[in-house]
Structure 1
Amino acid sequence: MEQGQTATMLHKPDDVPVKDVVRIASYHRRDFDLAVVRTNPSDHDQIRSSLLSPNHATTSTLGQLDILPTELAHEICLYLDIRSLFRFRQVNRRAQQIVSSIRLYRAVINHALEAFCIILRTNIAPWFTLSDLFKVLCTKYCQFCGDFGGFIFLPSFARCCFTCIREENLPRVLPLSVLKQRLKPRSGRLLGFIPTVRTLPGIYSMDETPRKRRTKVVLRDSVNTLYLSDYSENTRVKRSQSTSLLPYMVTTSLPYFDPKSGAVQRGISCSGCQVALEKDLYTSGVKPAACALRDKVYSHDDFRNHFQNCHEARKLWELSGQGTSIINVPEFVRRRGYFKKRDVMMSFHSQ
């Protein structure tokens, strides 16, 4: 009787809380986060409070700006690019109070501090506003394929997913030095009008390739906006290891923030699909799409739909006593993905 009930429950949808299903049958792929631009999260805790809580006791003023209502001062701040806004906040304590009380600013610092710091450090900040960043933060799906996107493509501030990064489905980027060499001098002077990302030293891609030098990177298509007639003929760059790493070097992880509910999601993958893949490996019967399914990242709602059709995920749910006990999961799931050199970084990146 119990076996028959279990078999039935594995094949029929269950009315179970999404939160419990996510906790038992899914995990966040930290190895994806580590393949792109990143910083040490432990540093964020030291600066988050200072960025959100300025000193309230102040006699500082902003001169004539102080005659403006706070709401109007906020609107003006939202027209500033991110670098200018950050510099304005550093003017004095009164400026800190104004910026720190902006709703969009507080949401970004609370939920996207790493991306905010990386935007400043890569020098892309002068090209975008806080509103631009907040808009991407509140976007759930990848702009290029429609799946859940846990990353931001810095050259254009577009929400993207790891699959599009890995499969080079993002807009093409090239080193600025290559464009300068191949464009005529008169055209090269116009490159200062193109958004430029200055990459950071780090370890990139799933192959964990180190890069120690900083490189200025631009969107290839951005050059066309300047009507450079010699561009298409002179900037055909052969694909190499260095150019194949560029998509990873100009993207960083960015959670999704729902402004209505206040919920934050980083994207989850299915533990059951990893179990299924490992079972297939033992029997030498791996299906062509098995790895892609294992690597797929879902929102919580999308995962609930996947869970209903994933036999192994539903089995994990039953083995956990419907979320009441701890179960054994594959090592891959426990490690939140595949790591080699980055094992020493794992303690820095929590789910």
Structure 2
Amino acid sequence: MAMERAQIDRRHSEKAYENSMIRAASYHRRDFDLAVIKTNPSDHEQVRSSMLRTTGAPSVNLGRLECLPLEIIFEICLLLDLESLFRFRQVNRRAQQIISAVHGYRETITYALEVLCIVLRTKTAPYFTIYDLFKVLCTRDCLLCGSFGGFVFLPSLMRCCFSCIKEDCLPAIMSVADAKRLIKWSATRLPKSIPVFKTLPGIYSMDETSQKRRMQIVTKEHIARISRCLINEEAQPTRQKKAAVLRYMVTTALPHLDITSGDIQSGICCSGCQVALEEAMRTTGIEVSALGLRDKVYSRDSFLEHFRQCRKAQELFTLSKKGVDIAKISESVRRGGYFNERGVIMSFGR
């Protein structure tokens, strides 16, 4: 018993030491978060508490559904699309009680409420379930490159990383207007089986491009299915600059939930690599690899591995133990990236 206690204490001590390294030598890239769909976090607090709260004991039941075993009702709820699920939740207190106990519901509302609200506002809720959202919340790595994925491609709820967004590695997308012109679609609407994503006004991409009008977006894969032909880049009439912004308009930040430990991670970058880059810019010049290291996003464990090899990160940690405020060393680290203040204000004003 004493040995087990000693092992637990040692592990707690090791974790506290690792946390101090992470605090001293890493930072979260807020500019990445602001380049994609972003809503004001304060708007969600009241909604979150309401969606997690069950208002007293139910006075009525679910009618004919009550004859089913509770496990079957839970399975039905998991199969409902998000729009139908929340309509069912509004039926009565018993429905609220049932939904609140559905597997993954509380975790999703607690940690992925912004994504849920965006899915509802972009009119894609009929295509996904609460379990779809919970599953991507619990997925850590980008499905395209394997790096830590702090974002989600919303048309298919696919976990991705910012590098794949920036480098245009996501599934190809296009506007509905362009799709109709390409396949000579005469109907006013596309088939209901095709998810149509309606964008939100805001500031997008690292260039902080303002998009005031909403657009309807579809994936080229879905259009190719109904047109029975391959849609290539040359056939897309959307202007290149406009198309480059679209991928930021269909993605948003999403933390990763480790369902076993309960840890929540949004991804971190190395402060040491940022400081080293700034020093190189003032002296010898920079290498392309230095830019990649500066922008690389790590999970907690992968950053600790990087820390062991990054001398500048180790220097920052040593300075922090001497009481030096790391944020004063680099303005970019202090601000969480290199966006301008106007972009921050306009993004949260969406």
- CA separation of 1:346/1:80 partners in 2, compared to 1, >3 Å: closer, same or farther? closer
- CA separation of 1:116/1:98 partners in 2, compared to 1, >3 Å: closer, same or farther? same
Cα deviation for residue 29 of structure 1 reads 0.5
What amino acid is the match of 1:278? E
- CA separation of 1:184/1:228 partners in 2, compared to 1, >3 Å: closer, same or farther? farther
Question: 1: distance between equivalents of 2:234 and 2:286?
Answer: 44
Cα deviation for residue 282 of structure 1 reads 0.8
Tell me what 1:245 maps to.
245
Kindly indicate whether the alpha-carbon contact (under 8 Å) linking 2:39 and 2:347 is maintained by their aligned counterparts in 1: no
What amino acid is the match of 1:70? L
TM-score, normalization by structure 2:
0.89
Cα deviation for residue 266 of structure 1 reads 0.2
Question: 2: distance between equivalents of 1:100 and 1:345?
Answer: 35
Structure 1, gaps ≥5 residues long: 1-13
What amino acid is the match of 2:31? D
- CA separation of 1:230/1:113 partners in 2, compared to 1, >3 Å: closer, same or farther? closer
Tell me what 1:344 maps to.
345
Tell me what 1:125 maps to.
125
Say which SS state the counterpart of residue 275 (structure 2) adopts: helix
Kindly indicate whether the alpha-carbon contact (under 8 Å) linking 2:24 and 2:316 is maintained by their aligned counterparts in 1: yes
Question: 1: distance between equivalents of 2:232 and 2:338?
Answer: 39
**How many residues were matched structurally?**
334
- CA separation of 1:271/1:250 partners in 2, compared to 1, >3 Å: closer, same or farther? same
Percent sequence identity is 51
Kindly indicate whether the alpha-carbon contact (under 8 Å) linking 1:205 and 1:245 is maintained by their aligned counterparts in 2: yes
Kindly indicate whether the alpha-carbon contact (under 8 Å) linking 1:183 and 1:234 is maintained by their aligned counterparts in 2: no
Say which SS state the counterpart of residue 288 (structure 2) adopts: coil
Say which SS state the counterpart of residue 65 (structure 1) adopts: helix
Question: 2: distance between equivalents of 1:43 and 1:72?
Answer: 35
What amino acid is the match of 2:253? S
Say which SS state the counterpart of residue 54 (structure 2) adopts: coil
Question: 2: distance between equivalents of 1:15 and 1:33?
Answer: 27
Question: 2: distance between equivalents of 1:190 and 1:345?
Answer: 33
- CA separation of 1:230/1:247 partners in 2, compared to 1, >3 Å: closer, same or farther? closer
What amino acid is the match of 1:342? G
Choose 52-61 or 15-24, whichever is displaced more.
15-24
Choose 185-194 or 137-146, whichever is displaced more.
185-194
Tell me what 2:5 maps to.
none
Say which SS state the counterpart of residue 320 (structure 1) adopts: helix
Choose 235-244 or 217-226, whichever is displaced more.
235-244
Question: 1: distance between equivalents of 2:227 and 2:33?
Answer: 36
Kindly indicate whether the alpha-carbon contact (under 8 Å) linking 1:184 and 1:230 is maintained by their aligned counterparts in 2: no
Matches within 5 A, 1:1-351: 17-185=17-185, 191-229=191-229, 235-321=235-321, 326-327=325-326, 328-340=328-340, 341-344=342-345
Question: 1: distance between equivalents of 2:288 and 2:226?
Answer: 44
Kindly indicate whether the alpha-carbon contact (under 8 Å) linking 1:148 and 1:161 is maintained by their aligned counterparts in 2: yes
What amino acid is the match of 2:243? T
- CA separation of 1:79/1:214 partners in 2, compared to 1, >3 Å: closer, same or farther? same
Kindly indicate whether the alpha-carbon contact (under 8 Å) linking 1:183 and 1:231 is maintained by their aligned counterparts in 2: no
Kindly indicate whether the alpha-carbon contact (under 8 Å) linking 1:60 and 1:94 is maintained by their aligned counterparts in 2: yes
Cα offsets for 1:267-310 (capped at 9, x unmatched): 00000001100110110321121111101100000000000111
Say which SS state the counterpart of residue 309 (structure 1) adopts: coil
Say which SS state the counterpart of residue 159 (structure 2) adopts: strand
What amino acid is the match of 1:344? I
Question: 1: distance between equivalents of 2:300 and 2:114?
Answer: 22
Cα deviation for residue 181 of structure 1 reads 2.1
Say which SS state the counterpart of residue 185 (structure 1) adopts: coil
Choose 210-219 or 282-291, whichever is displaced more.
282-291
- CA separation of 1:280/1:261 partners in 2, compared to 1, >3 Å: closer, same or farther? same
Cα offsets for 1:187-212 (capped at 9, x unmatched): 88654321111100111001111111
Question: 2: distance between equivalents of 1:234 and 1:67?
Answer: 57
What amino acid is the match of 1:213? R
Kindly indicate whether the alpha-carbon contact (under 8 Å) linking 2:199 and 2:216 is maintained by their aligned counterparts in 1: yes
Cα deviation for residue 40 of structure 1 reads 0.8
Choose 337-346 or 289-298, whichever is displaced more.
337-346
Question: 2: distance between equivalents of 1:229 and 1:187?
Answer: 18
- CA separation of 1:345/1:306 partners in 2, compared to 1, >3 Å: closer, same or farther? farther
Kindly indicate whether the alpha-carbon contact (under 8 Å) linking 1:142 and 1:159 is maintained by their aligned counterparts in 2: yes
- CA separation of 1:231/1:337 partners in 2, compared to 1, >3 Å: closer, same or farther? closer
- CA separation of 1:343/1:201 partners in 2, compared to 1, >3 Å: closer, same or farther? closer
- CA separation of 1:19/1:346 partners in 2, compared to 1, >3 Å: closer, same or farther? farther
Question: 2: distance between equivalents of 1:139 and 1:294?
Answer: 24
- CA separation of 1:190/1:119 partners in 2, compared to 1, >3 Å: closer, same or farther? closer
- CA separation of 1:185/1:318 partners in 2, compared to 1, >3 Å: closer, same or farther? closer
Kindly indicate whether the alpha-carbon contact (under 8 Å) linking 2:58 and 2:92 is maintained by their aligned counterparts in 1: no
- CA separation of 1:234/1:147 partners in 2, compared to 1, >3 Å: closer, same or farther? closer
What amino acid is the match of 2:90? Q
What amino acid is the match of 1:53? R
What amino acid is the match of 1:20? S
